[in-house]
Structure 1
Amino acid sequence: MTEQVLDRVSGYERWFNTLFEEYFDTLSVGLGAPSFSRFTPECLRLLRELSLRGGKRMRVVLLHEAARLVTEEPVEGLEAAALSVELLQTHGLVHDDLIDDSPTRRGGPSTYYAYRERFPARPQAALGLTVLAGDLALALSLRVLLEAKVPVAVRQAMIEVQTRAAADTFVGQIVDLERDFAAAPGEEVLHCVADYKSARYSVLAPLQLGLLAAGEQPALFEKELREYARLVGICGQMRDDYLDLFGDASVMGKPTGTDIRDGKHSYTVSVLLAAVDDAERRVVEAALGDPSCLTETIAAVREIGERRGVPGRMQADMRRCAEQATEVAAGWRSRWREEAVTFFEHLPLWSVNRTR
């Protein structure tokens, strides 16, 4: 991406981080919780800390760039839409960490582990409060749209987009867990999980919300928007899975091998198991699903993958997917602003080349 685009992306991030902080500053007043409750303010504090603690804000970037497809003028409704997509993301992080039993998130304790530390003798209460914290973030993501200062028809359409995105994400979480019960899920299963669990709320919904805010009717272009989002989502998930084994832990700020230890049948694991011989398979399968798997064992699995050409195969798959997404976006030139279309053409390859 050009320096101009990168500056614009950085501007969205700064703008939104300020907006998000201001939102949480006023949230406790607007929530209307009983005055005696101590748990409600604590829940809001945990949601605030998680929400403001990092994140690339790419959903916010997509939202704004989608509006720029239609117009370069300021667009009403983007603030509410941005808050909505990031609150839905917060919901997903809270529940993901509960499902995965993850102690940390974005350099701090996960909401689940914060509650576990708060209530060491009440594990069921810690679990319940974590679920409710995630549910509250979801409800808030819809409420900000209900309060958006946009025409009623636009507001209703935005709520429909986010409600559908949330439901698709829940289905994605279910089939993600189901995938790991299969001995060898096929590529289409992996693509379907990436689409439902990630692409629909992280790419498609911001695209639709940005277009709606700018006065466009995304339903008229449903098929191509869905295809673009699906391909970008698959690229992103492939890259996440690739970095989990072949990435640089010092750059990513987290250890590699998490998917192996968790027993996840990721894109990387799928390609790896298809490439190894019997002796190597025994090494990989012994590590797969072993939470106490040593760093040395992960390094051995990585070395097997490198010897078998797994990184090159995955990079080729990612690039092919990215090129297909770029081709879809190129078809928008006759309809929308060329500068904004160029951003969406470049985005898939950026996703493939990122290092964290």
Structure 2
Amino acid sequence: MTVEITADVHERLAGYRDRFEPLFARYFDTLAQQQLPHSSFVPEALELVRDMSLRGGKRLRVALLYEAARLVTPDPVEGLEEAALSIELLQTHGLIHDDIVDDSPVRRGARSVYYAYRDRYPDREQTALGLAVLAGDLAAFWSVQVLLCAPVSRELCQAMAAVQATAGADTVVGQVLDLERDFGPLPDREVLDAVSEYKSARYSVLAPLQLGLLAAGADPAGHHEELARYARLVGVSGQLRDDYLDLFADTATVGKPTGSDLRAGRRSYAVCALLGATAGRDRELVEAALADPDCPPEMVEQVQGIARHHGVDRQLRADSRRIAQDAAAVAAGWRGRWRADAVEFFEHLPLWGAQRIS
């Protein structure tokens, strides 16, 4: 099933992003104008968090937030701007900490916060590490603070802040699970799905849905099970797609070298499927490439050939499409309860993602 993104949806998505970017910049301008302690390190931390935050990205979480409010009403809703800031600040926190955990020098086409600190303090590696951790912590606490200052009722402020605090805690749990996945026996599908859910889906899909509904006056608690199921399915389908692209797409498509998960020793969906499908010399070659940071492109191409021979590419594509269709079916069940055009957006969203690898 092929679903096109209509001109109306394109316009709405672009509008959310275009309105959010100056809002985010003004937010950091306001932070910089606050009275800070006499320090050079504190403004430096603020500037690095600002730079990471404003480098962009698709701002899909912001779009999900506004579309969630549109499930209830097409009218402007108070508190959505603060919720959007909160979502993206939590994303910044996750990116900064991910780059520390993964020892990544580059993020969004420029230096990661961790490596920016390492560059500035080359002889103080522990100081650089500590400052990067604290910069990520700042973004996390700001993500809750901004909601508590939203121009809405005290009860709504507290409810939205509770959603974000829960999402933040779940994300950290997901980061721990992500590290655990690469130890011990080959993880099964349940473990891989749990990593996708906790590390990504709960804060990237579920929290924006909950925040948008809350701001628009709906109570998401009564629909928690189906909202969480939708978020989990979208997250798993999206991670399957990303893992497929990491192994099989060209560098121009994914914006990073092909096979980065393989070189990093990450037991992604693609790597686990490959290890589970191979034996003998094929398995030996895959294991030789796995976790070899210097694995040359020629060896990655050999691994790609082995994966295609064993049908790993077809399996990943089929799984991503099937789970995307399951997510769409969950959203279709919202018809009659919420506004039809907004329901259609959530119905089509997972299918748009899965089509990238069709």
Specify the alignment match of 1:82 in structure 2. Answer: 84
The within-5 A match list for 1:124-143 is: 124-143=126-145
TM-score, length of structure 2 as denominator length? 0.97
Query: Following TM superposition, by how much is the alpha carbon of 1:274 offset from its aligned partner in structure 2, in angstroms?
Result: 1.7
SS at match of 1:131: helix
CA shift, 1:183, in A, is: 2.7
1:33 is aligned to 36
Residue of structure 2 equivalent to 1:335: 337
Match for residue 67 of structure 1 among 61, 66, 69: 69
**Which residue number corresponds to residue 249 of structure 2?**
247
**Partner in structure 2 of residue 211 of structure 1:** 213
The whole-number CA distance in structure 2 between the counterparts of 1:309 and 1:54 is 36
Question: In structure 2, which of residues 28, 44, 49 is the aligned counterpart of residue 24 of structure 1?
Answer: 28
Q: Offset at 1:29? A: 2.0
In the aligned structure 2, how far is the partner of 1:256 from the partner of 1:211?
39
SS in 2 for 1:70: coil
- Please give the alpha-carbon distance, in whole angstroms, between the structure 2 residues aligned to 1:123 and 1:207: 40
- Indicate the residue corresponding to 1:271 in structure 2: 273
Q: Following the alignment from structure 2 to structure 1, what is the Cα–Cα distance between the partners of residues 253 and 239?
A: 18
Aligned Cα RMSD in Å? Answer: 0.9
CA drift of 1:232 comes to 0.3
User: How do 1:273-352 and structure 2 match up within 5 A?
Assistant: 273-352=275-354
Aligned to 1:167: 169
Q: Structure 2 CA distance, aligned partners of 1:299 and 1:248?
A: 11
Structure 1 runs (4+) greater than 2 angstroms displaced: none
Question: How big is the shift at 1:56?
Answer: 0.8
Q: How many residues get paired?
A: 353
Instruction: Tell me what 1:14 maps to.
Output: 18
Trace 1:144-159 onto structure 2 (pairs within 5 A).
144-159=146-161
Q: What pairs with 1:172-251 in structure 2 (closer than 5 Å)? A: 172-251=174-253
Q: Distance in 1 between matches of 2:192 and 2:41?
A: 39
Alpha-carbon deviation of 1:85? 0.3
Deviations 1:101-125 (A, max 9, x none): 0000000000000000000000010
Q: Distance in 2 between matches of 1:271 and 1:238?
A: 11
Q: What CA distance in whole angstroms lies between the structure 1 residues aligned with 2:332 and 2:281?
A: 46
CA-to-partner distance for each residue in 1:137-166, whole Å, 9 max, x for gaps? 001101100100111111111011000000
Rounded Cα–Cα distance in structure 2 between residues aligned with 1:241 and 1:216? 35
> TM-score scaled by structure 1?
0.98
Structure 1: stretches of 5+ with no match in the other structure = none
Any idea what the Cα deviations from partners look like across 1:235-256, whole Å, max 9, x if unmatched?
1111111111111211222111
Residues in 2 aligned to 1:308 and 1:195: alpha-carbon distance in whole angstroms = 27
**What CA distance in whole angstroms lies between the structure 1 residues aligned with 2:253 and 2:201?**
25
**CA contact under 8 A between 2:321 and 2:355: conserved in structure 1?**
no
In 1, distance between residues paired with 2:140 and 2:106?
21
- Looking at structure 1, the residues matched to 276 and 250 of structure 2 have their Cα atoms a distance apart, in angstroms, of 24
SS at match of 2:257: coil
SS in 2 for 1:163: helix
Task: Determine helix, strand or coil for the equivalent of 1:346.
Answer: helix
Displacement of 1:234 after TM fit? 0.5
User: Helix, strand or coil: the match of 1:51?
Assistant: helix
Provide the rounded CA distance (Å) in 2 between the counterparts of 1:352 and 1:124. Answer: 42
> Match of 1:33, as an amino acid?
L
d(CA) in 1 for partners of 2:356 and 2:88?
Answer: 21
Cα deviations by residue, 1:320-351 (Å, 9 ceiling, x for unpaired): 10011000000000100000000000000112
